[in-house]
Amino acid sequence: MQSIPYGTSGRNAMGIPVAFCSAIGMDMSELRRLIWVSGQLAYNQRNEFVGSGDVRAQTEQCLVNIERNLRELGGSIDDVVQVTVFVKDMSHLEAIHEVRLRHFSKPYPTSTLVAVSRFVHPDALIEVNAVAAVRSA
């Protein structure tokens, strides 16, 4: 696997530490399985919404949900190669990346960020989906 870090050569326009890279490349021969995880909101295992008004708590729960789904299908958070993050408020980016940096390690996944006007749950501030590429042993 090869990765091009985000912010190399002074290109980090965000000005904050981030948990994503600019690009990832893998040879198909390295892969055992691909896993797509649907967008996750901040619901815990009891189907209770977590973190109303708290983007850090919601981000944490979204990533915990992704990790749980990946484990059930034979993967882990380290296999994630791409995330799409939907947010209501772009001013929360630093808080979101603080949480992401605790979950993801280098090489970070690629990432797309999209601002939206609302989610299915009225208190949701963030939704995250993921694609994982589980490598052969």
Report the chain's mean pLDDT, rounded to a whole number: 91
- Cα torsion 59, 110, 104, 108 to 10°: value is -160
pLDDT at 8 over 70: no
3-state secondary structure of 134: strand
- Taking only the tens place, the pLDDT of each residue in 17-69 is 777 777 888 888 888 999 999 999 999 999 999 999 999 999 999 999 999 99
Domains and CATH numbers, the chain: 2-135 (3.30.1330.40)
Full-model pTM: 0.89
**What six digits make up the tokens of 50?**
């977590």
